[in-house]
Amino acid sequence: MLTDYHCHILPEFDDGAKDAETSLEMLNIMKEQGVERIIATPHFYAHEERSLTEYLLRREDAYESMETLAAAQNIALPNMVLGAEVAIEHGISKIHGIDKLAIEDSDLILLELPFRDYEDWMSEEINAIRSEYGLTIVLAHIHRYLAYYTPENFERILQTDAVFQFNNEVFLLEREAKLIKQLTDDKRSIIFGSDAHNTDTRRPNWDIILERCDPDILKASNEFLEPAANEVIGEG
């Protein structure tokens, strides 16, 4: 089941789809590209939110507005799953109920590192979320940090006990694409997402990955949410 693990398709929520019509246009592009399961991961910036509860209610409302318009237009939604892209900030691990931002019916939580060089507190927050809530950490668009981290600090991040999410356009970038081979050789877990925000400048781009990605690597990504796949990973 071709799975998009990272996209901003929920309408009027963050810097993603501006309205429900745009959401459905993004959805149609994904359908044409063969996507069968979409994990909606709107941004969660703790310093901008009044509360976690309010965020979750807004997320549900955004999904329902898309669902309502789809029903009115007789459009069948694919398998839609709600999650979040959680920015790593000071104290994020102390927010009560942060585990509610994990991908629904899973123990995976998508975390976004700050776009500046590594500091020890970042790993402290990551480790606290993993240990205190029993969650599996997914680091969003890991390849993008090559431009921000020193080689030594980037290597420290790669040693994190985490799943690494790549945006599909990584296959258009020579240095970043080599990172996939490195992590694959090291037997690390990799998943993919479009990180789509709209229908033009950041449109769904599964055509890239279907053309360029090793089928076995893509298959492992698609199956990562499946119980059987997770049991095997856990046994390892």
Query: pLDDT tens, position by position, for the chain (236 residues)?
Result: 999 999 999 999 999 999 999 999 999 999 999 999 999 999 999 999 999 999 999 999 999 999 999 999 998 888 999 999 999 999 999 999 999 999 999 999 999 999 998 999 999 999 999 999 999 999 999 999 999 999 999 999 999 999 999 999 999 999 999 999 999 999 999 999 999 999 999 999 999 999 999 999 999 999 998 753 444 333 33
Residue 236 in any domain: the answer is no
Q: Is residue 9 part of a domain?
A: yes
Does a structural domain hold residue 185? yes
Q: What is the count of structural domains for the chain? A: 1
Calculate the alpha carbon distances from 79 to 1, 3, 4, 185 in Å.
Answer: 10, 9, 10, 31
Q: Is residue 117 part of a domain?
A: yes
What CATH number is associated with residue 83?
3.20.20.140
Work out whether the CA dihedral 114, 166, 200, 43 comes out positive or negative: negative
Phi, psi of 149 (to 5 degrees): -95, 145
Report which of 185, 133, 137 is spatially closest to residue 157, judged by C-alpha positions.
Answer: 137
Residue 181 is assigned to a structural domain of this protein: yes
User: What is residue 188's predicted lDDT score, i.e. its pLDDT?
Assistant: 96
pTM: 0.93
Helix (H), strand (E) at residue 54: helix 52-72
What is the rounded CA–CA span in Å between residue 229 and residue 234? 9
What pLDDT, on the 0 to 100 scale, is given for residue 226?
79
Cβ proximity of 168 and 205 under 8 Å: yes
Helix, strand, coil percentages (3-state) for the chain, rounded to 5, are 50, 15, 35
Please provide residue 154's backbone torsions phi and psi, each rounded to the nearest 5 degrees. Answer: -65, -40
Looking up tokens 């199956």, which residue turns up?
223
Return d(Cα 223, Cα 205) in angstroms, integer. 19
Residue 234 lies in a domain: no
Residue range 88-125, pLDDT digits in tens: 999 999 999 999 999 999 999 999 999 998 999 999 99
pLDDT, tens digit (0-9, with 9 covering 90-100), for 205-234: 999 999 999 999 999 999 998 753 444 333
- DSSP 8-state secondary structure symbol assigned to residue 104: T
Query: What's the pLDDT score for residue 227?
Result: 57
d(CA 9, CA 17): 5
Task: Give the Cα separation of 2 and 217 in Å (integer).
Answer: 12
Evaluate whether residue 231 is within a structural domain. no
Which residues span the domain enclosing 108? 3-224
pLDDT of 93 reads 96
In a domain, 235, yes or no: no
62 in Cβ contact with 16 (< 8 Å) = no
Residue 88, Cβ density class (10 Å: 0-12 exposed, 13-18 middle, ≥19 buried): buried
